[in-house]
Amino acid sequence: MTAHYLWLKGLHIVFVVTWFAGLFYLPRLFIYHTTASDTLSRERFVTMETRLFAIMTIGGVLASAFGIWMLLVNPGLLQVGWVQVKLALLVGLFAFHWRCFNWMRRLRNSAPTTDTRWLRWFNEIPTGLLIAIVLLAVLKPF
């Protein structure tokens, strides 16, 4: 493996961590936002959510860019089963990211509901995706 490829992999991991930090915390902000009772707090949460979403989007874009670059350097990875499953899980991660954007917009534009049960479950989705993706990358089971 060339040093060039190892740099790509290292930067990919760094930006995956950045992306997941946002994916873990943004839904928690949605829960706090939903339960906030005053306008000032809700406005503060809108600002926090917007800034965090921007940071996590940059992390996601850069993680994706370095991942694609690694595939371009080593296209044989696309034939490996665990990589194919990882890419399928990434589709779910992109969908989760998009859903976060929609929730953020919804909370910004309307009064939040008081029921946070769904958001609490939603908050756990990236944990399952992270566990599956990391175990696939480390164990390479197929």
Phi, psi of 133 (to 5 degrees): -65, -45
99: Cβ contacts below 8 Å, ≥ 6 apart: 122
Query: Distance (Å, rounded) from C-alpha 123 to C-alpha 28?
Result: 7
Q: What angle do CA 25, 86, 70 make, to 5 degrees?
A: 95
Q: pLDDT confidence of 135, banded at 50, 70, 90? A: very high
1: pLDDT strictly greater than 90: no
Query: Distance (Å, rounded) from C-alpha 47 to C-alpha 23?
Result: 16
82-134, pLDDT tens digit by residue? 999 999 999 999 999 999 999 999 999 876 676 789 899 999 999 999 999 99
Q: What is the pLDDT of residue 52?
A: 98
124-140 as b/e: b if 16+ CB within 10 A: ebbeebbeebeebeeee
Gap between the terminal Cα atoms of the chain: 20
Task: Write out the residue range of the structural domain in which residue 81 sits.
Answer: 3-139
> What number of helices (H) and strands (E) belong to the chain?
5, 0
Q: Look at the chain and report how many structural domains it folds into.
A: 1
**Residue matched to tokens 């499953």:** 85
Q: Whole-structure pTM over 0.85, yes or no?
A: yes
